[in-house]
Amino acid sequence: MNGNISLMNGMHFAGTWETSARRASGEVVFFTGMTGYQEVLTDPSYAGQIIAFTYPLIGQYGLESDGSESTRIQVAGVLVQTLADAGAQSELKDWLEQEGIPVLSQVDVRALVHVLRDEGDQFGIMSAEKHESMVVPERYHLTEYVTTTSLILEGDGEKGHVVCLDFGVKSSMVGEIVKRGYRVTSVPYHTSKEIIETLRPDGILVSNGPGDPRDHLGQIEVIRELALSYPTLGICMGHQLLGLAFGCKIEKQTYGHRGSNHPVRNVKTNDVWMTSQNHGYVVERTSIEQSPLELLYENVNDHSVEGLIHPNASIFTTQFHPEASPGPTDAQSVFDRFDEMIQEGVNVYA
């Protein structure tokens, strides 16, 4: 049966339904990686979005038992050129069906991506009909759907205790800290400073998550006070929130960075890493000058801000995902630096 993805600008792209669920709405974005579809689908940062995979064949290597970043598929819908459905490789299609996720195949993803690159990520509707007009729903807080509702303890390491402010944390992010000998307690993103202090943390992780970081201005002062009290690492959304906490501004990108081939340069060492990324907002570069923070990483392609450091406190951030390992594992050393910062009590980047 044929279906359509209709965009806010009035354009339509036809496809063929692969699952029985046949309606979804959300921001339409694209992912450029050749692999990693399981991780992408379960990444809470993609919550509520319709994801278009640019690689022409998706699902070819099946699913991995430990490949998911959360307990369920987070995306609202999926657009592909071809969905693998032969033999064991049908695992992905079966999983999408079981989770009730609408999937359109045979979509001209190349043409769709050209539109998104020219006009930006935009609201869209997947359905059987073409939608000539649509009303974008009022912004809602996606974080409420992905944050933990209770304290979750992982690991029993003896090196220390890290408290994670969970804005939609990926399981592999917590896993990298546990691997380095720490206990990690994930708490709801709106947890008060007083409650976090009772957990006696040795370090703070401000996690990734979906949506606009400016939706969380009410939590900014708590984040700033925690960061000045404990060694702190912010990743993706966490990076943006720490930027806001110290006076930086946030701007929306035209079409975001979503893929596993983004080169990032450390401005202090000139080292370049290939990184995985997933974000539609960035710290406005010129605003760093009005804050106590300094630039640590920049994107080689567009020179956007990829990381910040506080010269007088144990605080640093990355816009990219160091836990994601797009092939090279260089960026995982970010967690080694966080470990050193906690153990030595100083900012090892300063």
- Kindly give, in sequence order, each residue whose CB lies less than 8 Å from that of residue 327, ignoring residues fewer than 6 positions away: 260, 274
In this structure, the dihedral spanned by the alpha carbons of residues 163, 189, 220 and 138, taken in order and rounded to 10 degrees, is 160
Residue 235's alpha-carbon distances to 17, 55, 204, 207, 232, in angstroms, are: 36, 26, 11, 5, 10
Does residue 321 carry a catalytic annotation? Answer: yes
Q: What is residue 174's three-state secondary structure?
A: helix
**Dihedral sign, Cα of residue 254, residue 259, residue 265, residue 267:** positive
**Dihedral sign, Cα of residue 179, residue 229, residue 223, residue 201:** positive
| Catalytic residue from among 236, 257, 262, 298 | 236
Does residue 236 carry a catalytic annotation? Answer: yes
Rounded to 10°, the helix 333-344/171-179 angle is: 50
| Catalytic residue from among 161, 262, 279, 321 | 321
| Catalytic residue from among 27, 39, 69, 323 | 323
Does residue 161 carry a catalytic annotation? Answer: no
Enumerate the active-site residues. 236, 321, 323
